[in-house]
Amino acid sequence: MATNDDHKTATLSFGDTTLELPMRSPSLGPDVIDIRKLYADGNVFTFDPGFTSTAACSSTITYIDGDKGELLYRGYPIEQLATKSHFLEVASLLLYGELPTAAELEDFESRVTNHTMLHEQMQNFFRGFRRDAPPMAIMVGVVGAMSAFYHDSTDINDPWQREVAAIRMIAKMPTIAAWAYKYSVGQPFIYPRNDLDYSSNFLRMCFAVPAADYEVDPILARAMDRILTLHADHEQNASTSTVRLASSSGANPFACIAAGIACLWGPAHGGANQACLQMLREIGTVDQIPEYIKRAKDKDDPFRLMGFGHRVYKNFDPRAKVMKESADEVLALMGIENNETLKVAKELERIALEDEYFVEKKLYPNVDFYSGIILDAMGFPEGMFTPIFALSRTVGWITQWKEMLGDPEQKIGRPRQLYTGVTRRDYVEVENR
């Protein structure tokens, strides 16, 4: 937890007011100025749209150093976890704070494995959608509807129910995502299997059909597992902040996760992986890249390089580096290492990183730049990219949700505003207007 052992303060003076505001030091990262009493003592608000300089909470889960390009899950570097660990072990680490012993990991994996099935009646939700419904629309709806089926894990004041809700969310998201895909392609739902690991189970539910046996390729399962690990948590990003804000009102966990899924959907956030692949395909060939770089730099052109830039990373996104290695591995396995889209991506990255606009604005490829290329090579349609991101980020969302419920400093989120509307005026009858 942040401390104020050295009793540092910040002096804030404006008009004839001078305030001494307490400061708190983190274990990593910048100090914070505690402004909770600012309005009461100084009758002013701070103004920070997008929360670029605002810490909304204290947390012990994930740390990002944007200048160093560092991402730590409970202190462990993402590069090490992505290569040495696996998704469910990372999920256990995020949820409980420590790398599990072999016995703890076996117990956690067993609890997740035995919650992967959905209530049979929930299939009706899928069938209520049009076949061309975006899988993200289905995912938002079905996850929200879980609160209508799993009443025995919606009481947020019961630690046991919180634990069951966490396991259920992590366990059922692959089934929901896979069934959203199956429904969109008109194929029957494939049930989870308890003899498969988490990522293999998900791939089989997506690509198996009842008419034939299906063997998951271990290299693809490994690549999928790595993608899930890389996306698991990321501090107080937009969708995680949405989950925390929804949870601050006491909403049930399924409703909070549905809110997070809705926020992740946007192309500036989790929707960027789909938008990025569409952009790479629109560019088409390497010789078209300069035209798009020019457009990305043109203030009057709303076009942005999707998969580039980040609010926090002003060096490289460490996840993008691992993802790029995975892209090479998966496409070579698929025998498509000469994939034009991958060539455009690599050349676009090379050109952009030499261009003074991108260098000056510290724009680097982010986690979404290569992920779409890998998922496309694995056979997923673009509409499944963000649901896979949501599948993984559910671990982070539910971990942050649990942390918030246990944080004595947390209260309902209720920001104020800088009001710039008209001042008080009286109603005018229509005949006098």
The reply on whether position 366 binds ligand SDX by CB under 6 A is yes
Q: Which residue is nearest to ligand SDX (CB)?
A: 309
Residue 269 designated active-site: no
Residue 310 designated active-site: yes
Rounded Cα gap, residues 273 and 236, in angstroms: 19
The reply on whether position 156 binds ligand SDX by CB under 6 A is no
Q: Kindly state the smallest distance separating residue 368's Cβ from ligand SDX, in Å.
A: 5
User: According to CB under 6 A, which residues from 310 to 329 bind ligand SDX?
Assistant: 310-312
Q: Residues 367-396 vs ligand SDX: string with x where CB under 6 A?
A: xx----------------------------
Q: Which is closer to ligand SDX, CB of 208 or CB of 322?
A: 322
Q: Kindly state the smallest distance separating residue 70's Cβ from ligand SDX, in Å.
A: 13
Q: Which is closer to ligand SDX, CB of 229 or CB of 237?
A: 237
- Give the range of 1-9, 96-104, 136-144, 365-373 binding ligand SDX by CB under 6 A: 365-373
Q: Kindly state the smallest distance separating residue 411's Cβ from ligand SDX, in Å.
A: 24
Select the residue interacting with ligand SDX from 146, 223, 272, 374 (CB under 6 A): 272
The reply on whether position 269 binds ligand SDX by CB under 6 A is yes
The reply on whether position 237 binds ligand SDX by CB under 6 A is yes
Q: Which is closer to ligand SDX, CB of 269 or CB of 321?
A: 269
- Give the range of 28-36, 220-228, 264-272, 410-418 binding ligand SDX by CB under 6 A: 264-272
Q: Residues 338-357 vs ligand SDX: string with x where CB under 6 A?
A: --------------------
Q: Which is closer to ligand SDX, CB of 310 or CB of 402?
A: 310
Q: Which is closer to ligand SDX, CB of 304 or CB of 346?
A: 304
Token pair listed for 97: 């704070």
Q: Which is closer to ligand SDX, CB of 122 or CB of 263?
A: 263
Token pair listed for 58: 């204290």
Q: Which is closer to ligand SDX, CB of 24 or CB of 311?
A: 311
The reply on whether position 68 binds ligand SDX by CB under 6 A is no
Q: Identify which of 305, 272, 284, 292 has the alpha carbon closest to the alpha carbon of residue 372.
A: 272
Per the residue annotation, which of 115, 231, 234, 310 is the catalytic one?
310
Per-residue three-class SS string for the chain: CCECCCCCEEEEEECCEEEEEEEEECCCCCCEECCCCHHHHHCCCCCCHHHCCCCCCCCCCEEEECCCCEEEECCEEHHHHHHHCCHHHHHHHHHHCCCCCHHHHHHHHHHHHCCCCCCHHHHHHHHCCCCCCCHHHHHHHHHHHHHHCCHHHCCCCCHHHHHHHHHHHHHHHHHHHHHHHHHHCCCCCCCCCCCCCHHHHHHHHHHCCCCCCCCCCHHHHHHHHHHHHHHCCCCCCHHHHHHHHHHHCCCCHHHHHHHHHHHHCCCCCCCHHHHHHHHHHHHCCHHHHHHHHHHHHCCCCCCCCCCECCCCCCCCCHHHHHHHHHHHHHHHHCCCCCCHHHHHHHHHHHHHHHCHHHHHCCCCECCHHHHHHHHHHCCCCHHHHHHHHHHHHHHHHHHHHHHHHCCCCCCCCCCCCCCCCCCCCCCCCHHHC
| Torsion angle of C-alpha atoms 133, 134, 139, 145, degrees rounded to 10 | -30
Q: Kindly state the smallest distance separating residue 211's Cβ from ligand SDX, in Å.
A: 38
Select the residue interacting with ligand SDX from 268, 284, 298, 359 (CB under 6 A): 268
Rounded Cα gap, residues 358 and 321, in angstroms: 18
User: According to CB under 6 A, which residues from 294 to 313 bind ligand SDX?
Assistant: 296, 304-312
Per the residue annotation, which of 368, 376, 407, 426 is the catalytic one?
368
The reply on whether position 253 binds ligand SDX by CB under 6 A is no
Select the residue interacting with ligand SDX from 234, 244, 324, 402 (CB under 6 A): 234
Token pair listed for 397: 């969302």
Catalytic residue annotation: 310, 368
Binding site for ligand SDX (CB under 6 A): 50, 234, 237, 268-269, 272, 296, 304-312, 361, 363, 366-368
